[in-house]
Amino acid sequence: MTENHQDKLEAIIDEMLLEDPETSYDTLAKWCARYPEHRDALTRFAATRAVQKSLPEGSQIDEARITSRLMSHALSIMHRQGAAARDTAEAVTTRLCEAITESGIPEEEFSRRCNLDETLIAKLNRRLIPVASIPRVAFELIASTIAREVAFVRAMLTGDPIPLGAHKSRSRPAARTEDFLDAVKSSNLSEEAKSEWIRIIEAERKNEGT
Amino acid sequence: MSQAHSDRKPATAPAVEPLTSNYRDGRPYTRRRDVEDQVCRVRDTDPATWPALAKAPAGSDDRLKSEVIVHLVRILRARGETAIAGQLIEQLVKRMEKTATAWAKGFDQTTTEEIVIQVGERVVELILADTPSRQSEFLEVAFAEAVKRRTLNAVERRESQPRTYRFATPTDAGDGSDGTVANPLEGMADGEPSPEEIAIARERPDVLRRCLGAISNPKHREAVVLRFFEGWPIVSKDKTKPSLCTHFGISDRQISNWFAKAFEEVRAMAGDSL
């Protein structure tokens, strides 16, 4: 991930404080020389710190109320994460076709709503398409169609390719993976539907690049 | 190398799972030696005893350091022991409130509480982050500094909004303003305040500190603090170095006028104390 301007500034201030919690003028001047592009922000920060230090004791706050509010925030996060973890644990053992069946939606209807044909569904079901190549729109369409979270769908489609249960040759054939785009091109979707997926993939790639 | 850095364990022999983020110069983030030592002492003990250690009185050897508590919370969450993790988070929240309140002064109670909550919610999110980040790992490096930085950033963002300063009034009794700051007026080379102003700041820093509240203009007051308590120059020949002129975007002459007005108000308040 590209570090943005604010993240970089925060990291610099953290290090400056770590080196000199009092942020003396010499320390400030040194860090301004090291990061001249952040001179004004560093200076403002040091000035704010100095003014705060010079102020007498501040307002009394209702500590009990704030503790209660922050603990509520913490418990809410832990609850959400716990639910997500349970959902993910369930997802990794669930196959797409099972999830479609559980949702009660006929596979034809699923195909229509998600703009996927049976070959694409079969490849997604066997995790033959790397998730990194699957467009965000596809996750969202699948998730809304089967009424699950996007994270659940992502986890469900993530993992090692699943080999076929039955095969004619003596040795089990290697499960060959292919990108979502290649799978679309080799699918039985209409040309119009293929073009739409290609447009979506290109748009998402363009957005990621900016 | 600073004291803070020299107290850090080399990354080659980590007793605790190493942090993954790096300083700007590429060195890895490391916990302080005392933090790692305490983690090693505590992590194999019964977690049920940890909340009591976190609540131990400040200054006692048993009291868990904030950075250690952050690490223990992460251990507990990985084990699914959320009840004890919650008790430890509560102790961190209480410590965070004290630090944030100390660095969010000069506001009314509602605004101060808003700042503390804003900082606290973000710190809680970082403590509980599923994926480690630079910000979340910094909490195990220097918890109080992380809270302080976030609070001061929040204060900066509020600076354009109205605030109510509540300065102490001067009294003859000591109020803790003992002038322990090293005299920053030594070696001043750039633009100078008047000799009388220098004399007041040099000889009666305690009185000046107590009378800051008399300075009605916040900018004037900030200039006095930066010049006389922090030793910032009024101007600097080296343009890369901050100065009062670059910070406020005004001339040295205007800064001198600010000082003149500020000290007039200080003298009026201090009376015979000067």
Identify from A16, A28, A52, A75 which residue to disrupt to test chain B contact, counting B C-beta atoms within 10 A and taking the largest count.
A52
pLDDT tens digit sequence for A63-78: 999 999 999 999 999 9
Q: What is the pLDDT of residue B137?
A: 97
Burial of A122 (0-12, 13-18, 19+ CB in 10 A): middle
- Which B-chain residues 10-49 have CB contacts (< 8 A) with chain A? 23-24
Element (H, E) at A15: helix A5-19
- CA gap A169, B75 in Å, rounded: 49
Cβ(B208)–Cβ(B274) under 8 Å?
no
Flag whether residue A6 sits within 8 Å of chain B, measured between CB atoms. no
The CB density around residue B223, as the number of other CB atoms within 10 Å, is: 26
Asked if A39 reaches chain B (Cβ–Cβ under 8 Å), the answer is yes
- Percentage of the residues of chain A whose pLDDT score is greater than 90: 66
Query: Which pTM was predicted?
Result: 0.69
Percentages (nearest 5) of helix, strand, coil residues in chain B? 60, 0, 40
Alpha-carbon distance of B50 to B53, in angstroms, equals 5
CA distance to A118, A128, B67, B152, B180, per residue, from B104 (Å): 61, 55, 22, 7, 22
* pLDDT at residue number A140: 93
Which region among A186-200, B71-85, B143-157, B159-173 has the lowest average model confidence (pLDDT)? B159-173
CB count within 10 Å of CB A121 equals: 19
Burial of B110 (0-12, 13-18, 19+ CB in 10 A): exposed
B124-177 pLDDT per residue, tens: 999 999 888 999 999 999 999 999 999 999 999 987 554 444 444 444 433 333
The pLDDT of residue B160? 57
Whether B93 sits inside 8 A of A18 (CB atoms) is no
Across the interface, of A25, A62, A70, the residue whose CB is closest to B231 is: A25
On whether any CB of chain B is under 8 Å from the CB of A198, the answer is no
Domain-by-domain residue ranges, chain A? Answer: 3-91, 94-209
| A47: contact with B, CB 8 A cutoff | yes
pLDDT tens digit string along B196-226?
Answer: 777 677 777 788 888 898 999 999 999 999 9
Give the three-state DSSP class for B166.
coil
User: Is the CB of B241 less than 8 angstroms away from the CB of A32?
Assistant: yes
Q: Specify the residue for token string 């010499």.
A: A26
A127-147 confidence digits (pLDDT tens): 999 998 999 999 999 999 999
Residues of B within 8 A of A39 (CB-CB) are 240, 242
Q: Tens of pLDDT along B27-38?
A: 999 999 999 999
